[in-house]
Amino acid sequence: MRFLRINEVRERIGLGRTSIYKMVNEGTFPKPVRVLGKKVAWVDSEVDEWMLERIAEQRSDTISAVNC
C-alpha cells in the first residue's frame, strides 16, 4: 500500500485536479487522507478500486444494451 499525491492520481486516472476534487466533494471519488500537516494523499488501493468500479459499470452497461 502506498500514498499517491495529486499529480500521481491525475496521471493514474487521466482527470484534472478540479475534476478530482469535485468528485471528492460529491462523494463519488475516494477522499484523501492527511499525511503530514496540510499535505494530503490518496490511498492507492482506494483509487484502484474506484477505477475497477468505473470499468465494471461501463462493461455492465454495454452488456445490458446488447441484451435489450
Amino acid at 37: G
Tell me, what's the pLDDT at 58?
86
Give residue for cell 452488456.
63
Over residues 31-52, the mean pLDDT reads 97
Sequence-ordered list of residues with C-beta below 8 angstroms from that of 49, at least 6 positions apart, any chain: 30
Per-residue confidence (pLDDT) for residue 59, from 0 to 100: 83
Locate the DSSP E strands across the chain.
3-4, 33-36, 39-43
Task: Retrieve residue 64's grid coordinates.
Answer: 445490458
Residues 17-27 have pLDDT tens digits of 999 999 999 99
Q: Which pLDDT belongs to residue 38?
A: 94
SS3 42: strand
What average pLDDT does range 8-19 have in this prediction? 98
